[in-house]
Amino acid sequence: MWNKITDSAKTRFDYEELVSAFGEIGDSQMAENLLFQILLGLAVEDDEETLAAKLTSQLIVLGIGVGDGSMLELIREIRPAVVKEVLATKVALTGFRDGNDPNDVLVTVSSLL
């Protein structure tokens, strides 16, 4: 289900640019993980500054330097494009929290995307 949401989000902005930003470190999953964390943070309604600080800290711990303000800029750039995916993430989180059947949650998420 999470792949369905992130795969949808990848089509809404220049995802290849994000991938290329992490290409230098040789980790093809980094961009996808970062996108998922952005969607999740927006779904739980973290404000952009807090989310950017969390993600920047996580990358620094991994030894990946991030320029001042670049994470906040990325979040602000893609946020308007991934509104449906943020909503789908909220719905999925709520569905799982409420104990709904995963297949039912997947059907609902799919209909949103």
Q: What is the pLDDT of residues 95-107, one digit of tens each?
A: 999 999 999 999 9
pTM score of the predicted model: 0.90
What residue ranges of the chain have pLDDT lower than 70?
Answer: 23-28
Scanning the structure block, which residue is given the tokens 């104990």? 99
Cβ proximity of 64 and 29 under 8 Å: no
**What pLDDT is attached to residue 24?**
63
User: Cα separation of 84 and 6, whole Å?
Assistant: 11
Contact indicator for 91, 109 with CB cutoff of 8 Å:
yes
DSSP state at residue 82: G
CB hemisphere CA count around 72 (13 angstroms): 8
